[in-house]
Amino acid sequence: MEQAIESQLLEISLGPQHPSTHGVFRMNATLDGETIVKLKPVMGYLHRNHEQIGESISYIASFPFTDRLDYFSAMSNNLGLAIAIEQLGGIPVSERGEYVRVIMAELTRLVNHTAVTGFLINDMGAFGTPLLYAFREREKILDLFEAASGSRMMCNYVRPGGVREDVPAGWLAQAKQLVDGYPRFLDEFEMLLTDNEIIRQRTQGVGVLSKELAVNASVTGPMLRATGVNYDIRKVDGYSIYPRFAFKIPLGSAGDVYDRYYVRILEMRESVKILQQALKQIPDSGPAISPKGLAIGKAPRTFRPAKGDAYGRIEAPKGELGFYLVSDGSPQPYRYHVRAPSFVNLTVLEDMCLGQKVADTIIILGSVDIVLGEVDR
């Protein structure tokens, strides 16, 4: 009888409404004591029919919907779709527009990595200073987004050929002031976290993802680089004007929760370098969108690209975000498909959780950095 009791397995369900699941996400876990022996991710609670909608409206009309994919990274989402449309329609991008787009994309990376780090520490049970520090800095960047686009989160700002409208007077100076002060915040953040003994004990050796599995599962972004794989689409594809800037690709080695945390910290420091260069090099004048761009004044339904297909991808904060478009010559895409990093990166969750404790599973999920709008498209 004692042996039978000891060998009993317990099945529990975390979510879909649970503070640790980062949205309407569910984990069905099988436990031996407190150890995970099986884990099944369950998703689909937030399906919004995004791709089907994209095939029934004009190309430009999809931009507000991309904002909702990853609401922490709206500017990056806009950029990914814009690049795909530009490839499909042969649309050039204005010089000033390129710089504004890169500035917005790297500010978005700061927003995302700052927030996910605060959430990760919160998942460990340390609510307070780190999360509040993170959201304090995030608010400053959202103020800049609001000044440029009129919205703090659902920006709907980038357009094929550039951006919807130029940044207002004084915006670049405010952005420079924020960027120049960001390393001080990162120093404070690291002083609290990086060498903290409790955080190291909770994260090192936890949720290890091997380099081989990461590559085979098509994992991208900070999760992939934390395993030591040097792959960043900004370097690999050299899209937009990223080849003009000097920056490094931070890498981890162990592929555990700690490395995923620290790679994001180092990536923020590299984003600051890119922003400083972009803010210094941006042309003083010139159109924010090219003459052939899909500006808001043009009737978007007149855009009928030739038959063909295109795949535009970017290094979004969470990994490779790609948009695959197929044109049949009509004003609407024949096929509209999103390659979302949150969904792909989530496929290795069970592999990272097997043999771990329940409490560790929570921070492993947090270190993946998912947004359910991107998982359930």
d(C-alpha 373, C-alpha 343), whole Å:
10
Count of alpha carbons within 13 angstroms of residue 60, beta-carbon side: 22
Nearest Cα neighbor of 232 from 201, 271, 198 is 271
The pTM for the full model equals 0.93
d(CA 88, CA 325): 8
Q: What angle do CA 271, 163, 341 make, to 5 degrees?
A: 50
* Residue 71: predicted pLDDT: 87
Segment-wise mean pLDDT, segments of 10 residues, the chain, 377 residues: 63 81 88 92 89 93 91 91 94 95 97 92 81 90 95 92 93 96 93 91 94 96 96 95 96 95 97 97 92 67 88 96 95 95 95 93 93 89
- Written as six digits, the tokens of 80 are 């990914």
The rounded distance, in Å, linking the Cα atoms of 85 and 376 is 23
How far is residue 358's CA from residue 305's CA, in Å, rounded to a whole number?
Answer: 51
Task: Please list the residues that pair with 327 across neighbouring strands.
Answer: 308
Determine contact, residues 269/183, Cβ cutoff 8 Å. Answer: yes
What's the confidence (pLDDT) of residue 6? 56
Segments in the chain forming alpha helices (H): 2-6, 50-54, 63-67, 74-89, 95-123, 129-149, 171-193, 197-203, 211-216, 222-225, 233-236, 257-281, 341-345, 349-353, 358-368, 372-375
Contact 358/20 with Cβ under 8 angstroms? no
Q: How far apart are CA 244 and CA 238, in angstroms?
A: 9
Tokens 């990223």 correspond to what residue?
Answer: 242
**pLDDT of the residue at 1:** 42
pLDDT given at position 28: 93
Q: Which three-class secondary structure state does DSSP give residue 68?
A: coil
Q: Which helix (H) or strand (E) holds 340?
A: none
Q: What is the model's pLDDT at position 217?
A: 96
Give residue 82's identity as a one-letter amino acid code. A
Burial of 151 (0-12, 13-18, 19+ CB in 10 A): middle
How far apart are the C-alpha atoms of 64 and 149, rounded to whole Å? Answer: 12
Angle, helices 129-149 vs 171-193, to 10°: value is: 170
Query: Nearest 5°: CA angle at 19, between 53 and 252?
Result: 85
Contact (Cβ atoms closer than 8 angstroms) between residue 310 and residue 289 = no
Would you say 164 and 96 are in contact if contact means Cβ atoms under 8 Å apart?
Answer: no
Q: How far is residue 220's CA from residue 369's CA, in Å, rounded to a whole number?
A: 12
What letter represents residue 374's amino acid?
A: E
